[in-house]
């Protein structure tokens, strides 16, 4: 299996080759690789259990063999908190994740993507600017790795070191070097909307913050001598700083929903949300990551068929299916970890209009 990238998400949501297996495996509770492998085997057994309800034993054995032979669990790195596997006859890949996930195994006619959407929507990557008197590095985090994007060296200082017995050059001060470099960094990052984290000693941080003209610079920073710090350690410290930022972005989306409620532009009944998704009327959908509503959705009419539990390899999370319909029609999906910010509902949607619904005065006061 190959490691999937952000750009593969579209292919995952559009895949049609059932059966499709989605496995979410968290490192939490696994003290070592052996314990994690045991959890992985349990997940595969669960997947086989659902497949055997609708497919022959010979098909299941042949279909599952690549998963049993996969080494994706062994490829997890220190900062990874788990792995997400998408497996079908056409897509066979995994994502390493640095955010907490819950263990989950779903076999259905489409992949289960809600947890991935939360991770990818909230954590699209970031820039790190690490500074010293000798060099300034611009790093970009994407697809689980921190890459050096650009290095600006204090060439005058370097030349001065080479010619210290001459009077040809004067050493450039850190302030001058940072001011000059900030101009180039402003040009480099002007086309991006990713959070920017600064790292360096306090004096350098103050100079860079003064000259850097970008609204995405975080107030929090990594203070200290970062020249000798390992890249993975820097990346881990960045994730810690970004948690409040991601939470704030989520709250801003919820505020948008609350405003839509006041203007009667929001709906909360699952049946109405499904119909609105089919009509392409949903501007922004809000769903809970860890709440499933088993059954099926008619993707032509929006009719919802609810099951009391997941009973076979075709039952899917209705909310997940609606997410995919909204994305396919150009809407946005916000995946929340808990329901307290959307008044206890398992789903809510901001709609462009309500003309396609029978109940024009739907109340936002009935909890699920």
Among 279, 293, 273, which residue's Cα sits nearest to residue 349?
Answer: 273
Tell me what pLDDT residue 98 has.
Answer: 84
Tell me what pLDDT residue 170 has.
Answer: 53
What is the widest separation between alpha-carbon atoms in the chain?
A: 86
Tell me what pLDDT residue 119 has.
Answer: 85
Tell me what pLDDT residue 156 has.
Answer: 60
Asked if the domains at 2-112 and 264-351 fall in one CATH topology, the answer is no
Hey, what's the torsion of the CAs at 239, 240, 241, 244, to 10 degrees? 100
Q: Tell the residue number behind the tokens 């319909």, with chain if given.
A: 325
Tell me what pLDDT residue 297 has.
Answer: 94
Among 122, 111, 115, which residue's Cα sits nearest to residue 13?
Answer: 111
Task: Check residue 29 and report its DSSP letter.
Answer: T
Residue 20: helix, strand or coil by DSSP? strand
Fold of 126-246: Nucleotidyltransferase; domain 5 (3.30.420)
Alpha helices in 30-154 (DSSP H): 33-51, 57-69, 114-122
Ranges of residues in the chain with a pLDDT under 70 are 156-171, 339, 341, 358-368
- Measured CA to CA, the distance from residue 176 to residue 187 in angstroms comes to 18
Residue 202: helix, strand or coil by DSSP? helix
Which is it for the CA torsion 332, 333, 336, 341, positive or negative?
Answer: positive
- Measured CA to CA, the distance from residue 132 to residue 359 in angstroms comes to 62
- For the record, the structure tokens of 226 come out as 């970062």
Fold of 2-112: 3.30.960
CATH 3.30.1330.30 applies to domain 264-351:
yes
- Measured CA to CA, the distance from residue 342 to residue 257 in angstroms comes to 8
168: left (phi over 0), alpha (psi -120 to 50) or beta: alpha
Q: Domain segments of the chain: what residues?
A: 2-112, 126-246, 264-351
Tell me what pLDDT residue 168 has.
Answer: 52
Q: Tell the residue number behind the tokens 């203007």, with chain if given.
A: 263
How many CA atoms lie less than 13 Å away from 202 in the CB half-sphere? 0
- For the record, the structure tokens of 130 come out as 């690490």
Claim: this prediction has a pTM higher than 0.85: no
């Amino acid at each position: 299996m190959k490691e999937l990238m952000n750009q593969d998400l579209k292919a995952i949501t559009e895949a049609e080759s059932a059966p499709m297996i989605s496995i979410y495996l968290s490192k939490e509770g696994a003290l070592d690789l052996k314990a994690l492998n045991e959890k992985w085997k349990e997940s595969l057994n669960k997947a086989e259990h659902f497949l055997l309800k609708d497919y022959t034993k010979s098909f299941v054995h042949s279909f599952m063999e690549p998963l049993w032979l996969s080494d994706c669990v062994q490829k997890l790195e220190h900062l990874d908190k788990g792995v997400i596997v998408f497996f079908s006859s056409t897509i066979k890949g995994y994502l390493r994740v640095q955010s907490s996930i819950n263990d989950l195994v779903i076999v259905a006619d489409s992949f289960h993507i809600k947890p991935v959407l939360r991770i990818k929507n909230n954590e699209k990557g970031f820039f790190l600017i690490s500074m010293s008197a000798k060099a300034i590095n611009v790093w970009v985090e994407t697809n689980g790795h921190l890459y050096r994007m650009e290095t600006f060296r204090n060439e005058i200082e370097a030349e001065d070191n080479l010619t210290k017995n001459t009077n040809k050059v004067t050493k450039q001060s850190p302030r001058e070097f940072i001011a000059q470099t900030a101009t180039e960094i402003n040009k480099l990052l002007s086309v991006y909307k990713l959070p920017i984290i600064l790292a360096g000693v306090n004096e350098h941080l103050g100079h860079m913050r003064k000259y850097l003209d970008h609204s995405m610079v975080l107030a929090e920073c990594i203070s200290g001598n970062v020249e000798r710090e390992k890249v993975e350690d820097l990346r881990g410290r960045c994730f810690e700083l970004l948690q409040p930022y991601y939470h704030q972005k989520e709250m801003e989306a919820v505020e948008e929903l609350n405003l839509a409620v006041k203007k009667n532009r929001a709906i909360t009944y699952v049946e109405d949300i499904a119909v609105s998704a089919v009509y392409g009327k949903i501007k922004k959908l809000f769903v809970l990551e860890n709440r499933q509503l088993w059954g099926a959705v008619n993707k032509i009419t929006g009719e919802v068929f609810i099951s009391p539990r997941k009973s076979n390899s075709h039952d899917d999370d209705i909310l997940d299916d609606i997410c995919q319909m909204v994305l396919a029609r150009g809407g946005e999906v916000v995946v929340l970890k808990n329901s307290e910010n959307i008044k206890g509902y398992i789903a809510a949607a901001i709609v462009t209009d309500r003309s396609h619904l029978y109940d024009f005065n739907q109340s936002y006061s009935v909890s699920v």
